[in-house]
Amino acid sequence: MKSYFYLLFLLSLSLAAQNKGAQKRLYYNLMDNGKQLYAMGKYKLELFPYEEAFDTLVTKRSVINFAKKNHFSDTIPKKNPKLAYPHYYLSYYKKNKETHWQNTMVYFIGKDTDEGKWSFIATISSVTERPSEEIDTEMIRLILDKKVLNENHMGGRSFDFLGRKVMLMDECYWTGVNIVRCPTKGEINWSLHATLAQAQQAIALQKEWAMLIPVPENHTISILTERDITLLFEGKQTRATEVVYNEHYQDPVLKSHHKDHKLIVYFIATVLRGQAISCVISYYDYNERLPDTGLPEFVSQFVRLPKGA
């Protein structure tokens, strides 16, 4: 009997450690337009809260009407046995190629709190190698229980990058949960994962997506060079894939007028300060570079290239 209770004790410790690890991977950003955005691993989540009881706001018929209005091919409300809250969900898939799918799950969820009865619409998206209805239910629980760690609140003019404070320059702005764009100084996006293998898969899919993104009319994109390099990422020697893309624009009227710009991208998947991370850092060839790093100022806060690279 003692061994049985000892086993339960070890299991509870293991679950507590997993929950704490999930908390550390969960990012939150309240965008300027009021959207509540979250990211954890391969999942992005957009949340809309309503101060109303679930069974008052949500019915099967209202979910079906939502699906039809938003042109979902699957209009049948479903339930996820792994999710403890009252809910329905709908699924939607977009095929980019045989091994690259965008999955969207729209969850209608109810939760009773000390402040009253609430309902939520959570739109969860992921990119996978095949169609998937998988979500991270722990992510939803942490969000609804308001268990996002303070250091993982993104937005504002500074942010915590795995324990290091990074200041945003005047021109830089947020375009997503954990995406920062600086028009003349580079761009970064990143996500935290439970394992290095998950980070590597995420970076492979993101690299594949770069050649699948729809481009504006009269634009084309092609790969000029691709190579594996060793760079300093947060001061640590790290293997990365460097891809140089050529973005070509031709004037539709004056065919002789055209522009070419090179986009330099570093795809990184590694373990940094004990945490598996996928990270993409990029800049254009016309961006001003610092003389001591050979890289734009914002990019230089994260990576350094070996001499002669």
What confidence tens digit (pLDDT) does each residue in 55-95 have?
Answer: 999 999 999 999 999 999 899 999 999 999 999 999 999 99
Of 178, 194, 206, which Cα lies nearest the Cα of 276?
Answer: 194
Token pair listed for 24: 């550390």
pLDDT (tens digit per residue) in 12-34: 333 334 456 899 999 999 988 77
DSSP 48-107: EEESS-HHHH--HHHHHHHHHHTT-S----B--TT--SSEEEEEEEEEEETTEEEEEEEE
Per-residue pLDDT of the chain (309 residues; tens, 9 = 90+): 444 444 444 333 333 344 568 999 999 999 887 789 999 999 999 999 999 999 999 999 999 999 999 999 899 999 999 999 999 999 999 999 999 999 999 999 999 987 789 999 999 999 999 999 999 999 999 999 999 988 899 999 999 999 999 999 999 999 999 999 999 999 999 999 999 999 999 999 999 999 998 878 878 889 999 999 999 999 999 999 999 999 988 766 666 667 889 999 999 999 999 999 999 999 999 999 999 999 999 999 999 998 766
CA dihedral 226, 100, 152, 139 (to 10 degrees): -160
| Dist. CA 121–CA 49, nearest whole Å | 7
Candidates 48, 29, 64, 37; CA nearest to 119 is 48
Q: What is the pLDDT of residue 215?
A: 79
> What topology does CATH give the domain 2-150?
Protein Transport Mog1p; Chain A (3.40.1000)
User: Cα 226 from chain centroid?
Assistant: 24
* Residue from 156, 194, 208 nearest 22 by CA: 194
Q: What is the pLDDT at residue 11? A: 38
The angle that helices 137-144 and 2-25 make with each other, rounded to 10 degrees, is 80
HSE at residue 82, side-chain half, CA atoms within 13 A, is 9
